[in-house]
Amino acid sequence: MSNNIQIQKANSFREQHLVDRLLLLPNVWDSFSAKLIAALGFSSLATASAAMALANGYRDGEHIPFKQMLDHVRQIVAAVDIPVTVDFERGFTDDISKLKENVGLLLETGAIGINIEDGKGDGLMSIDEQCKKIEAIREVAEQYNVPVLINARTDIYLQSDKKNRIERVVERAIAYRMAGADCLYPILIDNYAAIARLREMTTIPLNVFLLESIGDLRQLETIGVSRLSVGPAMLNAVITKMKNLAEGLLNYQTHEFFSQEMVSNEFLNKLLKREPDEN
* For range 251-275, the mean pLDDT: 85
* For range 137-149, the mean pLDDT: 98
Residue pair 186/226 in contact by the 8 Å Cβ criterion: no
Report the topology of domain 3-234.
Answer: TIM Barrel (3.20.20)
Nearest 5 degrees, angle CA 153-CA 203-CA 155? 20
What confidence score (pLDDT) does residue 276 get? 58
Q: Which of 214, 175, 218 is nearest to 192 (CA)?
A: 214
How do residues 231-240 score in pLDDT, each as one tens digit? 999 999 999 9
3-state DSSP call for residue 114?
strand
What confidence score (pLDDT) does residue 272 get? 87
Strands 113-117 and 84-87 turn out to be: parallel
Q: Select the more confidently predicted residue: 275 or 153.
A: 153
Question: Model's pTM, two decimal places?
Answer: 0.94
Domain boundaries, the chain: 3-234
How do residues 107-119 score in pLDDT, each as one tens digit? 999 999 999 999 9
- How does residue 279 score in pLDDT terms, banded at 50, 70 and 90? very low
Q: For the chain, percent helix, then strand, then coil, each to nearest 5?
A: 50, 15, 35
Distance CA 76, CA 162 (A): 38
* Chain centroid offset of residue 170 CA: 21
DSSP conformation class of 238 = H
How do residues 26-69 score in pLDDT, each as one tens digit? 999 999 999 999 999 999 999 999 999 999 999 999 999 999 99
Least confident range from 81-90, 134-143, 190-199, 255-264: namely 255-264
Q: Which residues lie below 8 Å from residue 228, measured CB to CB, with a gap of 6+? A: 22, 23, 24, 25, 207, 208, 209, 210, 217, 220
pLDDT at 122 over 90: no
What confidence score (pLDDT) does residue 275 get? 64
